Amino acid sequence: MAIKPLALQQGDTVGIVTLGSPLDADVINRRIAYLQSMGLKVIAGKYVYAQNGYLAGTDQERAEDLMNMFADERVKMILPSRGGVGVEGILPYLDYDYIRGHPKIVSGYSDITVLLNALTQFSGIVTLHSLLLIDFRPGTPPYNFEQFFTATSSVVVPRPLNNPPEKPLSGKVPGSASGPIVGGNLTSLVGSLGTPFEIDTTGKILLLEETHEPVNTVYRYVEQLKLAGKFNDCSGILLGECTNCMDAYGQTYEDLINDFIVPLGKPLLTNLASGHGVYKAAIPIGAFANMNASNGLITFLEPAVRY
């Protein structure tokens, strides 16, 4: 069974790190203030405001910030400011054995996907495909906060995943699948192939979502995952949105799903609100779940946190 971090409570301390691309200091400070207004304390990493071209400091500096948050006994949750690019660069500099003994809530999406899965795979801790610091602002839908705080504070199971009412899950290939959920952003996962941090989908439910890519590029990434055996190994497929993805050659994202993913024959649910979309479900990475593509249901059988 996966290792679970302690649940988040009112007044707990959140560690803010920037692990990929830099983010404007004014934006970081406004988001921190909003987080504090929700009753949480904040500690900012040494390099959270750093800028090194398209990276927020060197790989070693960003990794140091993250490890310092795992070591700080005051910190209950680690919240990256954003994704962007470059998160994979910190992975070789992390102490996964130490992290295993000092689990913390880690949340994010986009390029943070590679970190979430690496922590689950090599440290055995449950992570959370959910909000980043940039999402803590007045315009964020209440659904997103409800999902986030339920996942980070509740140990009640079984717990159904409730998509927004206007966005029902759609079963494309009937059947059920069980296993830990892994995955996240498609581009980030493809980037892990052929590295020591390649995602392991064996017996797991594979979550995929994407943003701002033309459909022919999405096809290329899906085909690469297929050739790498990631669909053969998984027990089921859970597809999020392809947010602002452009049609190509008259083909849509829905066409790609029907033409190239449905024929894989794995239980398949689509239309999950996650990642880059307006609505963001909170998905525990590494926690055991069941998906029923015949009934359009996802049920978490294991919480993301413990008391």
pLDDT tens per residue, range 259-271: 999 999 999 999 9
Distance CA 224, CA 203 (A): 19
Distance CA 24, CA 18 (A): 11
Q: Which residues are catalytic?
A: 110, 209, 276
Average pLDDT over residues 119-146: 98
Residue 240 lies in a domain: yes
* Pair (133, 188) in one structural domain: no
Out of 128, 153, 178, a domain closes at 153
Residue 2 lies in a domain: no
At 83-101, the pLDDT tens digits run: 999 999 999 999 999 999 9
Domain of residue 270, residue span: 159-300
Residue 3 lies in a domain: no
- Quote the pLDDT of residue 244: 95
DSSP H helical segments within 72-165, as ranges? 96-101, 113-123, 142-153
Average pLDDT over residues 183-194: 97
Find the CATH number of the domain harbouring 202. Answer: 3.50.30.60
The percentage of residues in the chain with a pLDDT greater than 90, rounded to a whole number, is 99
- Quote the pLDDT of residue 218: 98
CB 17 within 8 A of CB 68: no
Residue 305 lies in a domain: no
The percentage of residues in the chain with a pLDDT greater than 70, rounded to a whole number, is 100
Out of 119, 153, 187, a domain closes at 153
Out of 153, 171, 191, a domain closes at 153
Distance CA 224, CA 271 (A): 22
Mean confidence (pLDDT) of the chain: 97
Distance CA 268, CA 237 (A): 5
- Quote the pLDDT of residue 83: 97
Distance CA 173, CA 244 (A): 25
Residue with tokens 């994010």: 108
Task: Give residue 293's region: left, alpha or beta (phi > 0; psi -120 to 50).
Answer: alpha
Average pLDDT over residues 214-241: 98
* Residue 244, burial from CB neighbour count under 10 angstroms (0-12, 13-18, 19+): exposed
With 0.95 as the threshold, say if the pTM is over it: yes
Average pLDDT over residues 222-240: 98
- Quote the pLDDT of residue 166: 87
DSSP H helical segments within the chain, as ranges? 25-37, 59-71, 96-101, 113-123, 142-153, 186-192, 215-227, 230-233, 253-256
Answer whether residue 1 shows pLDDT above 80. no
Average pLDDT over residues 116-133: 98
The amino acid present at 65, given as its one-letter code, is D
Residue 71 lies in a domain: yes
CB atoms within 10 A of CB 267: 22
At 38-74, the pLDDT tens digits run: 999 999 999 999 999 999 999 999 999 999 999 999 9
Residue 6 lies in a domain: no
SS3 201: coil
Residue 158, both tokens: 């079984």
Find the CATH number of the domain harbouring 65. Answer: 3.40.50.10740
- How big is the chain by its Cα radius of gyration, in Å? 18
The DSSP secondary-structure symbol of 46 reads T
Residue 290 lies in a domain: yes
- Quote the pLDDT of residue 126: 98
Number of domains in the chain: 2
- Quote the pLDDT of residue 165: 86
